[in-house]
């Protein structure tokens, strides 16, 4: 419990989504009682009118902006214009109107996709502007990166307290397992479980050489809420584990955990995405005392178990 949340009205955009559900749980655990969760069907934040209506209805003291149009490499390649426009318009309008409405604090969630394609490893926040993002998700990454520019500009000109956090790739129970739009971990879990039953092989994109850093969604939520309480600075802050794993090793680990013993085929006609991702997480520890807690294989086991328990309803939707 924290006195920080007493009497504060908090709006969590995307609060009904994957990461949002964990953030809302963490807020409640710490004593936040007045939490407003706008649903897209009621407030399409790409539309200016919906942003104004949200602020009128919620009257927030704090906004945690998680809402985003997201997907894996395939979805980014198919719909780059949507990913750019939707994410830019949601964020820019919401932050601007939040400032106009006297919101006390705005927490913007960026993306590791904002980093340049060939960022030195581990990624340090000061390297954010040293090159262009990896091409397959650059439109999304740049749209989210503009929130950092906006946060710093509004802080400089208006004294607006907007902070910017950069989480690593997230995973965990309640993730999106739709093969069209899912990220790598849920997509692999679903493919390997299906192939175990129906026979292989499992075909995966690229050559398996890229590395990624994966952060358990519950840990990410804790970091976001901790930063909301304790961090009021202009600098972007990485949120991650500081550990990387190759896509090939990830595939082998998931195959082993679900009991798949067939072949894994790498389709090298498909893109690898960014060559490596590993964050320097020292700033989060220094600025608001946060470190990731969940060991990767423990988080992976929880995610697989959740998928197996909810598989019928997931695949019924698909």
Q: Locate 229 and state its tokens.
A: 């309480």
How far from chain centre, in Å, is Cα 289?
A: 20
How far, in Å, CA of 75 to CA of 70, rounded?
8
Q: What residues form DSSP beta bridges with 12?
A: 64
How far, in Å, CA of 80 to CA of 102, rounded?
33
Which of 140, 164, 171, 260 is an active site residue?
140
Would residue 158 show up in a list of annotated catalytic residues for this protein? no
Residues labelled as active-site residues: 140
């Amino acid at each position: 419990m924290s006195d920080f949340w007493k009497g504060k009205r908090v709006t969590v955009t995307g609060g009904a989504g994957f990461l949002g559900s964990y953030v809302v749980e963490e807020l409640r655990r710490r004593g936040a009682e007045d939490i407003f969760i706008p649903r897209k069907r009621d407030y399409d934040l790409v539309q200016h009118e919906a942003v104004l209506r949200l602020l009128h209805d919620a009257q927030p003291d704090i906004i945690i902006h998680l809402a985003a149009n997201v997907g894996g490499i395939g979805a980014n390649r198919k719909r780059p214009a949507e990913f750019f426009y939707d994410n830019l318009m949601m964020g820019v309008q919401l932050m601007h109107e939040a400032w106009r409405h006297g919101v006390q604090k705005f927490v913007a969630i960026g993306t590791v996709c904002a980093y340049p394609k060939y960022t030195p490893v581990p990624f340090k926040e000061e390297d954010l502007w040293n090159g262009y993002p990896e091409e397959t998700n650059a439109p999304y990454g740049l749209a989210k990166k503009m929130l950092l520019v906006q946060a710093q500009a509004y802080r400089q000109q208006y004294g607006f307290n907007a902070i910017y956090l950069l989480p690593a790739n997230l995973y965990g129970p309640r993730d999106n397992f739709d093969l069209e739009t899912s990220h790598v971990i849920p997509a692999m879990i679903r493919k390997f479980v299906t192939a175990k039953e129906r026979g292989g092989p499992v075909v995966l994109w690229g050559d398996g050489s890229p590395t990624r850093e994966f952060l358990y969604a519950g840990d990410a939520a804790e970091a976001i809420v901790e930063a909301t309480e304790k961090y009021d600075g202009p600098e972007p802050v990485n949120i991650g584990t500081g550990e990387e794993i190759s896509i090939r090793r990830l595939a082998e680990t998931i195959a082993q955990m679900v009991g798949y013993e067939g072949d894994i085929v790498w389709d090298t006609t498909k893109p690898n995405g960014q060559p490596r991702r590993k964050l320097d997480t020292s700033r989060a520890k220094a600025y608001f005392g946060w470190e990731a807690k969940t060991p990767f294989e423990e988080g992976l086991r929880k995610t697989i178990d959740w998928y197996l328990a909810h598989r019928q309803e997931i695949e019924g939707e698909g």
